[in-house]
Structure 1
Amino acid sequence: MNEILKQSEHHRVSELVVNWHLTEACNYRCKYCYASWIKPAESSAIWRNKNKTDQFLKSLKEYFDSTNDANPLTKDLHWSGLRLSLAGGEPMLLGDRFKDIVETASELGFKVSLITNGSFLSSETLEWLSPKLCMLGISVDTTQSNTNNLIGRVDTKGNSLSEGCLAKIVRLARQYNPSIKIKINTVVNQSNCNQDLKGLVNILKPEKWKILRVLPVINHNLTISDAQFKDFIELNQSVDTQVYIEDNLDMKDSYLMIDPHGRFYQNSLVQRGVTEYLYSDPILEKGIASAFNQIEFSSAAFCSRYIPNNIQGAAA
Structure 2
Amino acid sequence: MTPAAFSFSEIPVAVNWHMLDACNYRCKFCFAKFNNLKGICHDIQKSRTVLLKLKEGGVKKINFTGGEPLLCPTLGELIKYAKELGMATSIVTNGYYLTENPGKELLKEYGEYIDWIGMSLDSGNPEVELALGRAHLGQDGGHVKRVRGAVRLIKKVAPKIQIKINTVVTRLNWKEDMHWVIEELTPERWKVFQLKIVPGVNEGSTSLAITEEQFREFVNRHADLNPIAEDNDLMTHSYLMIDPLGRFYDEESQLSNWRNSLVEATFKEALRGLKFNPLKFVQRGGIYDWGGVK
Matched with 2:291 is: none
Distance in 2 (alpha carbons) for counterparts of 1:6 and 1:97: 35
More strand by share: 1
Query: Structure 2: which 5+ residue stretches go unaligned?
Result: 288-294
Identify which range, 229-238 or 25-34, moves more after superposition: 229-238
Are residue 34 (structure 1) and residue 18 (structure 2) matched?
Answer: no
Asked if structure 1 preserves the Cα contact closer than 8 Å seen for 2:248 and 2:271, the reply is yes
CA drift at 1:216: 0.5
Letter in 2 for 1:222: L
1:112-191 alignment runs, 5 A limit: 112-122=89-99, 124-125=104-105, 126-156=107-137, 157-163=139-145, 165-191=146-172
Change beyond 3 A, Cα 1:97–1:35: same
Q: How many residues align?
A: 276
Percent of pairs with identical residues: 31
Tell me by how many angstroms 1:237 deviates. 3.0
- Is the Cα–Cα contact under 8 Å of residues 119 and 160 in structure 1 kept in the other structure? no
Q: Scaled by the length of structure 1, what TM-score is found?
A: 0.79
Counterpart residue number, 2:251: 267
Q: Report the equivalent of 2:235.
A: 251
1:47 aligns with 2:41: yes
Deviations 1:179-205 (A, max 9, x none): 322110000012212211111111111
Does the residue aligned with 2:177 lie in a helix, a strand or coil? Answer: coil
| Contact in 2 for aligned 1:254/1:301 (Cα 8 Å) | yes
Letter of the 2:98 partner, please give it. Answer: L
C-alpha separation between the residues in 1 aligned to 2:235 and 2:180?
27
Q: How does 1:223-234 map to 2 (within 5 A)?
A: 223-234=209-220
Aligned with 1:211: secondary structure? strand
- TM-score of the pair, normalised by structure 2: 0.84
2:270 maps to which residue?
A: 291
Q: CA deviation at 1:7?
A: 6.2
Q: What SS is found at the alignment partner of 1:281?
A: coil
Q: CA offset at residue 167 of structure 1? A: 3.3
> Quick check: 1:266–1:277 contact (8 Å CA) kept in 2?
no
Structure 1 residues 198-213: aligned runs within 5 Å = 198-213=179-194
Higher relative contact order (CA 8 A, sep 6+): 2
RMSD: 2.6
Pair 1:19 & 2:16 matched: yes
Query: Which residue among 34, 41, 63 is the counterpart of 1:85?
Result: 63
Q: Which runs of 5+ in 1 are unaligned?
A: 66-81, 269-274, 309-316
User: Residue 11 of structure 1: CA displacement?
Assistant: 9.8
Contact 1:11 1:300 in 2 (8 A): no
SS at match of 1:138: strand
Whole-angstrom distance in 1 between the partners of 2:17 and 2:25: 19
